[in-house]
Amino acid sequence: MATHYDVLKVKKSASGDEIKGSFRRLAKKFHPDSNPSREKWAHDKMLRLLEAYSVLKDELKRGAYDRSLPGVRDRELRRSYWERLKRREGAAAAGAKMVLFELLQEERKAALKLYEKLAAGDPPFNLMDHLSIPDYLDCKFLLAEAYQYEGDLETALRLYREVYLADKRCSYYHHFAGEIKDRITRICCRLLPRMRSPREALDCFEKMGDISFPKKDRAFFYKKIAESYASAGDAQTAKFYLARALSIYPHLAGIKKLRRKLEEDQGRLSSGRTK
């Protein structure tokens, strides 16, 4: 639904003069006298303009209206909830529950900012100390999802792995565990080789030694690493990782172009040595 600011086409920070100027300009545009063929439409527009202007031109009415807007109400509710939690449970426990609350409200940036502030504190902060096992796993999974959404694949991967391993111990997610593993596989085997340097991708992949990746995905990962090294002109390392990929999954698709490039590079290298 359009707010009074939308109707008057001004920002929420607009001054009184800006609001008055915009109202006069729009009133001329929408006045029934200027729209004889659309008199009812113009009449309705003018009523809406007058309603918005009558509120925003008055400082007290404008203040009350601003406080009633959904975004402001939500912020005030969150602040109130946060204060009640702190009084009842202490800052650390309140922080853990507030992180989960923000994530469930899809307020990712606010949740990550609070989580990182808590994690950087002294003494060390651990979500598990303040949440039940189900809430802890939900919170960790949603944090991983938020970091992935923000492009921090390394942190997302670490958190997904922690949830996956914790779930294996307590079997909380049951059928959902497969989705967590699929996300880990996608980040490791698909996204990292495309979005990070070969060394960075390899480092992350090797840290996932306790995750059992499907053979085809592991082979695809090493093929992408081989392609990265080939593009960087390191044919020897590229051949090593291609051989590793094929040893895992001999029928891996899409390797003809890579093989051709490596053969051409090898040919040029041999030709240069001969000269």
Q: In CATH, what number is assigned to the domain containing residue 52?
A: 1.10.287.110
Task: Tell me, yes or no, whether 116 and 185 share the same domain.
Answer: yes
Task: Tell me, yes or no, whether 208 and 76 share the same domain.
Answer: yes
Using CA atoms, how far apart are residues 257 and 138, in angstroms rounded to an integer? 43
Using CA atoms, how far apart are residues 250 and 215, in angstroms rounded to an integer? 10
Task: Tell me, yes or no, whether 46 and 78 share the same domain.
Answer: no
The reported pLDDT for the residue numbered 272 is 55
148-199 per-position pLDDT tens digit:
999 999 999 999 999 888 887 776 655 567 888 889 999 988 899 889 989 8
Task: Tell me, yes or no, whether 118 and 200 share the same domain.
Answer: yes
Task: Tell me, yes or no, whether 255 and 130 share the same domain.
Answer: no
Task: Tell me, yes or no, whether 56 and 104 share the same domain.
Answer: no
Q: In CATH, what number is assigned to the domain containing residue 105?
A: 1.25.40
The reported pLDDT for the residue numbered 20 is 93
Which structural domain, as residue segments, surrounds residue 16?
4-68
Task: Tell me, yes or no, whether 205 and 257 share the same domain.
Answer: no
Q: Is the dihedral of CA 222, 228, 230, 233 positive or negative?
A: negative
Task: Tell me, yes or no, whether 124 and 22 share the same domain.
Answer: no
Task: Tell me, yes or no, whether 107 and 219 share the same domain.
Answer: no
The reported pLDDT for the residue numbered 266 is 67
Tally of domains in the chain? 3
Domain finish residue from 187, 214, 241: 214
Residue 211 phi, psi (nearest 5): -105, 130
Residue pLDDT tens, the chain, 275 long: 688 999 999 988 888 899 999 999 999 998 888 888 888 898 988 999 999 999 999 887 887 787 777 765 566 667 777 777 778 788 888 888 889 888 887 889 989 999 999 988 888 888 989 888 888 888 999 999 999 999 999 999 999 999 888 887 776 655 567 888 889 999 988 899 889 989 899 899 888 888 888 899 999 999 989 988 888 888 889 899 999 999 999 998 888 888 888 887 666 655 555 45
The reported pLDDT for the residue numbered 124 is 81
The reported pLDDT for the residue numbered 165 is 85
Domain finish residue from 68, 98, 116: 68
The reported pLDDT for the residue numbered 173 is 57
Domain finish residue from 180, 198, 214: 214
Task: Tell me, yes or no, whether 179 and 247 share the same domain.
Answer: no
The reported pLDDT for the residue numbered 270 is 59
CB-based contacts of 170, cutoff 8 Å, min separation 6: 133
Task: Tell me, yes or no, whether 14 and 37 share the same domain.
Answer: yes
Task: Tell me, yes or no, whether 241 and 190 share the same domain.
Answer: no
The reported pLDDT for the residue numbered 179 is 83
